[in-house]
Amino acid sequence: MSGRRSRAPLALAAAVLCLAAALGGCGVGPGDAPDSPVALTITRDFGATRVLHSADAKVSGADTVMRVTQRNADVTTRFGGDFVQSIAGIAGGRRDGRPVDWFIYVNGILTNQGAGALRARGGDRIWWDHHDWGLTPDVPAVVGAFPQPFLHGSDGTRRPVRVECAEPRSRPCAAVADRLVQLGVPATRDALERSSADESLRVLVGPWQRLRGRAAEADDLDRGPRSSGVFARFDEAGTRLRVLDPRGRVARTLGAATGLVAAVRELDGQPVWFVTGTDAAGVAAAARALDESVLRDRFAVAVSRGLPVSVPLTRAGR
């Protein structure tokens, strides 16, 4: 059984909580502004619809994530400013009888603190997404902030990056490592190993048949979105990928030459990224998809016939 613990919905009751009494409110703290741009993105339905994006958001002093959002978007709060009620006119609550709310990702990692407690650091990508959490509130890592978290890490700390490959001399393995190096990310390349959790950001590259069982995060992905937060599952043979909708229903089944780029995070460890597929051609397709233009605003991405498929696949999915 997985060691992950469930994270409650972040909007309203958890991550959007300002913690004003303990932390001095949501205003500007002392200190200098970040020395590199902070990006702010607001989307809905698992990134399917972009509501707002600023690659260089307005930031002043030691702003918190909440304050940056307030400076750059129309934010309505309640309970004395402790909770977000709506952003850009989009409120939490229920839609079609399903619970929907706001969730916050910083550098592709789901926050476990209030937006008023998190300081915005240079290079951070702040991403609010408003989505259905009826199947699971726990999507702890996403790929749509790429090249984060590889460039700036998390909590202001850049992490070592390790690319682990089923075939270390394969072209997809080299392509993934080279892509990270091109972005200024020092990355080592190794053979697959079932490692214990450490502070490294790991990227596992290879067909799913070879990655299956090689990490706790791979076990989570096999169990489905309630365990992994990834709305896609390989079949028992690893030769077909079922892409799910936000309610966990099969939206598409993809076969040969299908790739998948996804991230899974155990507890408070670092995310593990998967560049995988149904076969060697699928892995190659996933490696080519490791690009900001493809991954942008997507929670995970499947690749079929050379085209990206958003995971989960929503009505507005691209």
User: What CATH number does the domain containing 252 carry?
Assistant: 3.30.379
- Regarding whether 120 and 78 lie in a shared domain, the answer is yes
Does 88 lie in the same domain as 35? yes
Residue 62 pLDDT: 85
Do 102 and 180 fall into the same domain?
no
- Residue 33 in any domain: the answer is yes
Asked if 118 and 204 sit in the same domain, the reply is: no
Assess if residue 3 is contained within a domain.
no
| Average pLDDT taken over every residue of the chain | 88
Whether residues 111 and 167 share a domain: the answer is: no
- State which of 111, 132, 153 marks the end of a domain: 132
282 plus 217 within the same structural domain: yes
Q: In the predicted model, is pLDDT for residue 83 greater than 80? A: no
Gap between the Cα atoms of 75 and 78, Å rounded:
10
Return the number of other C-beta atoms located less than 10 Å from residue 4's C-beta: 22
Tens-place pLDDT, residues 244-260:
999 999 999 999 999 99
Do 182 and 304 sit in the same domain of this protein? yes
Q: Are residues 214 and 283 in the same domain?
A: yes
Residue 196 CB: number of other CB atoms within 10 A?
Answer: 7
Backbone φ, ψ for residue 7 (5° rounding): -105, 125
> Quick check: is 152 in a domain?
no
The answer to whether residues 239 and 293 belong to one domain is yes
Q: Out of 14-18, 29-33, 93-97, 306-310, pick the least confident.
A: 14-18
- 88 lies in the same domain as 33: yes
Q: Which two tokens stand for residue 308?
A: 């990206």
Asked if residue 10 belongs to a domain, the reply is: no
pLDDT, greater one: 168 or 11: 168
Range of 185's domain? 161-311
**Residues 62 and 127 reside in one and the same domain:** yes
Q: Is residue 141 part of a domain?
A: no
User: Any idea what the CATH number is for the domain that residue 87 is in?
Assistant: 2.170.130.30
Q: How many domains does the chain have?
A: 2
Residue 193 lies in a domain: yes
- 294 phi and psi angles, rounded to 5 deg: -90, -40
Residue 155: closest CA among 124, 199, 186:
124
- 32 and 107 fall within a common domain: yes
Q: Are 226 and 272 in contact (CB under 8 A)?
A: no
Cβ atoms of 179 and 187 within 8 Å: the answer is no
Please report whether residue 139 resides in a domain. Answer: no
Identify the pLDDT of residue 295: 98
> What's the burial of 236, exposed, middle or buried (CB within 10 Å: 0-12/13-18/19+)?
exposed
- Express each pLDDT in 3-58 by its tens digit: 454 554 444 333 444 333 223 334 444 556 677 899 999 999 999 999 999 999 99
- Asked whether residue 146 is domain-assigned, the answer is no
